[in-house]
Amino acid sequence: MKTQYYTATSIDGYIADEENSLDWLFQFGDSEESEEGYAQFVDRVGAIAMGSTTYEWVVEHENLLENPEQWPYEIPTWVFSTRELPVVDGADVTVVRGDVSPVHAEMVEAADGENVWLVGGGDLVGQFHEQGLLDEIILTIAPVTLGSGAPLLPRRITDPPLTLADAERHGDEFAVLTYEVQHSGEY
């Protein structure tokens, strides 16, 4: 069981533009390699965590309040927010706030041996890292620069540094990098 941050990023380290849009990413469509990689990743996920901005984007982008049957996940999802948020009817979504540690313990139990996926945003992932709960970062790097927007991971991770576990090419556009997070004493 791993807790993984799996996301797409621009070359300059943004996961969304200034308007929280992913249009810069969607311009590429879905390659067969990307779809296979995503499907293989999701098959091993037993619980999901995301921040409120990510959740709101998914709900709005897919018009899920009006079309709740389109909710993309069949596994329990925790949304971290300091605000009240609408929950998609029929979706296994729990809105939580506060320390990520006790919620992570619930997620691990619900995942039942499968992985925990930290969808984003970067600040939430940073909170998991600060508690020693982040095991792996998987980045799909798109061949664009955004100049500003939502940062990939607005935290310093320097000591110990991440360890590159894998690097793959997906089509003519994307690189997928997998980094293992070294916890104190493992380096």
CB atoms within 10 A of CB 183: 13
CA 68/CA 158 separation, integer angstroms: 42
Question: Is 30 domain-assigned?
Answer: yes
The pLDDT of residue 186 is 53
The pLDDT of residue 28 is 87
Which amino acid appears at position 149 of this protein? G
**Tens digit of each residue's pLDDT (9 = 90 or more) over 15-42:** 999 998 899 998 887 767 677 878 889 9
The pLDDT of residue 187 is 45
Question: Is 6 domain-assigned?
Answer: no
Question: Is 63 domain-assigned?
Answer: yes
Question: Is 2 domain-assigned?
Answer: no
Question: Is 79 domain-assigned?
Answer: yes
Question: Is 183 domain-assigned?
Answer: no
Nearest to 170 by CA among 146, 141, 137: 141
Report how many domains make up the chain. Answer: 1
Weakly modelled stretches of the chain, pLDDT under 70: 31, 33, 185-187
Question: Is 97 domain-assigned?
Answer: yes
Question: Is 31 domain-assigned?
Answer: yes
Residue 33: give its domain's CATH number.
3.40.430.10
Q: What is the mean pLDDT of the chain?
A: 93
| 81: containing domain | 11-176
The pLDDT of residue 99 is 96
